[in-house]
Chains A and B, each alone.
Chain A
């Protein structure tokens, strides 16, 4: 089936989550004897033809600079028109923040079944069944989509980026862009740091660190590992750290390759936000901390003694003085 992948970008660069979506879309097309194409709204400072190495044959671009900001209503209309002109049958998004804004609207507009939070390629042996995360990472559901057009939003960090050779053909799509009803007035980004939801490694601190003045070692370890920093709910609620660092059931759910939890006991609500991490490391002085049951590696010990030694070891490994 013909697959169309939505390519998301910010600050002139294509997001890693979209490279995953492109790789997923290409594998899906290969599996269903179709071709994979991409669509990008707005403009970037990257060579779009190079996206061919992720397996897309063609990239459609709607070159309108107003589309460098997101208005889900306008984006949906543009993508819906592109779907009808390209005849695509499966639309793939990353289930990142933009995907969550656009994919549901597109689903309702096209009456196309949506699987949001997919974690694997569909099983096409009997219909079209896609596995997705449910119950905040505590289970999976297999969802059957029977509509003619199907939409899959793949969870970030669930499908590996696979790059080979190839060049994509670039085609300009002339689609009328409606005036925005949502106007962006300001954007603030924490500069120089790794965004939490995109980070491959996350270093996180809990109440065991006793106070905000002790976060220096968390930040230092994170910096050395090129990691993002996070925290547990009590830490955010006590205003030791900003609320946008709170991971857990009611905060942000993340799925990094490596999650290092320091002084976090691992309440079930916290686990719900991090249990999709590939490898979990727990540092806690309480051997009974429930987090050890969910961990891959652990140290039962005092964070104030263990973490500085970890920092030393990482510095040695990376050859940093």
Chain B
């Protein structure tokens, strides 16, 4: 069994979101970087659990980023995984990124490709589906459970107002969200071991981006909260009915 987990570097969930260079670039100064939580908590940890169940499993990580992502990759390797591949390029176009991952995946011949359901910075929720299409593999998105029986996968995914359980044979691409696994903290043994795990740097395959970011905007500030006295909740209901007309 060979598993590939796609990871991405994102600003910490509490990072201040601001832009520089005439609103053309994210202001990265002083920003803490983390592994995209959906990639780490759900995709990577579920893959590690599968490897713990079947130790013959080969688990690789892939990221498409510059060398500044190396600390993030080491942190991911401290959680688990045998080796990491970094495609040495920076891009914000999901198709470009997906093409790089697909190229790595083709060469590696993986049975499962896991991604997080989206990154918390660009919120595209696109890379998994694009990788699946480029590899011509089935894709199950927004999965909350993943079980394996030989080469048959049983996957539960979110649907509007509930869940659906699907069956598919490997190879398969799955995007993961809450429910798949529980967050883990790397232990000292993992951190020490991660230092010597291979981190291969490969140059990007020739591909064109399909989109470009022209500029960023921050939403207008809220006008401020209208407070209603605690002894008069009926007034709140009246405001919601008459001012907002929502109830």
Contact = CB atoms under 8 A, between A and B. Distances in A.
Interface in B197-229: 210-219, 222-223, 225-229
B81 to A, nearest CB: 21
A302 interface: yes
A141 B50 CA distance: 37
Please classify the interface of chain B as helix (H, G, I), strand (E, B), loop, or mixed, using the class held by over half of its residues: mixed
Contacts of A183: 166-168
B120 interface: yes
Contacts of B122: 134, 141
Interface string B36-79: 01100100000000000000000000000000000000000000
Contacts of B159: 10, 97, 187, 189
A100 interface: yes
A140 B164 contact: no
B194 to A, nearest CB: 23
B8 interface: no
Given A71-B138, A201-B246, A313 B17 contact: no
Contacts of A134: 121-123, 216
Contact of B230 (A117, A144, A301): A301
A20 B44 CA distance: 35
A142 B215 contact: yes
Contacts of A117: 123-125
B146 interface: no
Nearest to B137: A73
A107 B95 contact: yes
A207 to B, nearest CB: 18
A244 interface: yes
B134 to A, nearest CB: 5
Q: Chain B contact residues (Cβ within 8 angstroms of A): what range? A: 35 or more
Given A72-B129, A142-B214, A310-B233, A296 B222 contact: yes
A73 B213 CA distance: 28
A268 to B, nearest CB: 5
Contacts of A143: 211-214
Nearest to B235: A313
B94 A104 contact: yes
A300 to B, nearest CB: 6
Interface in A225-253: 225, 243-244, 246, 249-251
Nearest to B127: A104
B27 to A, nearest CB: 11
Contacts, number: 279
Contact of B158 (A76, A97, A313): A97
B211 A144 contact: yes
B227 A299 contact: yes
Contacts of A190: 161-162
A69 to B, nearest CB: 8
B193 interface: no
B225 A293 contact: yes
A13 B84 CA distance: 45
Contact of A116 (B11, B124, B222): B124
Interface string A166-199: 0000000000000001111111111001111110
B213 A142 contact: yes
Contacts of B162: 187-190, 195
A97 B142 contact: yes
A224 to B, nearest CB: 9
Contacts of A184: 164-166
Contacts of B238: 313
A114 B211 contact: yes
Nearest to A129: B214
10 contacts: A72-B138, A73-B138, A100-B142, A104-B126, A105-B133, A198-B160, A250-B38, A310-B233, A313-B237, A316-B234
Question: Which 5 A-B residue pairs are closest in the complex by CB-CB distance?
Answer: A301-B230, A195-B161, A104-B129, A189-B162, A113-B210
Given A104-B125, A299-B236, A316-B234, 19 more contacts: A10-B160, A15-B160, A72-B139, A95-B125, A104-B98, A105-B130, A112-B210, A114-B94, A134-B122, A141-B215, A143-B211, A143-B212, A181-B138, A185-B154, A188-B164, A297-B228, A299-B227, A309-B233, A317-B247
Interface of A: 10, 15, 71-73, 76, 95-97, 100-109, 111-117, 129, 131-147, 181-190, 193-198, 200-201, 225, 243-244, 246, 249-251, 257-258, 268-269, 272, 275, 278-279, 281-282, 292-302, 305-307, 309-310, 312-314, 316-317
